[in-house]
Amino acid sequence: MAQYLILIYEDEAAWATAGPEGYEQAMKEHTAFGHANGAALRGGNALQPTGTATTVRREPAGSFSVTDGPFVETKEALGGYYLVEAADLDEALAVAKQVPAPFGGVEVRPVQVFD
């Protein structure tokens, strides 16, 4: 078995106008997803919008720059993730296809294993 991180990328602007019904609907869908895939799920969280993000970079001089905002500005931003366990990529992709992401999509990344 291997672990995969499913990263959810969505358009934050679309979420900003989705309204309470939109969020309620999303909660329902994620709950249903969790029930359907409980055996594979190893973790997961929703993230606050990129407006709350802070980026820290080490400057060549050795000091740190601390800036407001996400690491990379994109239309579709990382908004949440699931950690799943799957036998292979096909199994992970089958789970990924069920992740609710009405305003974007997901990226599936195998977790690096160090022996």
Partner 1 sequence: MLADPSVSAAVADAHRREWAFVLAATVRVTGDLGMAEECVQDAYAQALSTWGDRGVPARPGAWLTTVARRRAVDAGRRDATLRRSLPLLLDDRVDPGPQMADPEEIADDRLRLVFTCCHPALRLEAQVALTLRLLCGLTTAEVAAAFLVSEPTMAARLTRAKKKISGARIPYRVPAAGELPARVDAVLTVVHLLFTTGHTAPVGADLIRRDLVERALDLTRMLRALLPRDADVAGLLALILLTDARSATRVGGDGRLVLLAEQDRTRWDRNAIGEGVALVREALRRRPPGRFALMAAIAAVHAEAPSWTDTDWGELVALYDLLVQLWPSPVVALNRAVAVGFAAGIDAGLHALDALAAEPQLAGYAYLPAARADLLRRLGRLSEARTAYEEALLLTQNTVERDFLTARLDKLGQAQAKPGSTHPGPAPSAPR
Residues within the interface to partner 1 (CB under 8 A): 2, 87-90, 93, 108, 110, 115
Closer residue to partner 1, CB minimum distance, 65 or 112: 112
Rounded Cα distance, 105 and 9, in Å: 5
Closer residue to partner 1, CB minimum distance, 24 or 88: 88
- Residue 18 CB, shortest distance to partner 1, in Å, is 30
- Picking from 89, 110, 79, the residue whose alpha carbon sits closest to that of residue 7 is 79
Closer residue to partner 1, CB minimum distance, 9 or 15: 9
Residue 13 CB: number of other CB atoms within 10 A? Answer: 12
Hey, is 20 helix, strand or coil? helix
- Residue 14 CB, shortest distance to partner 1, in Å, is 25
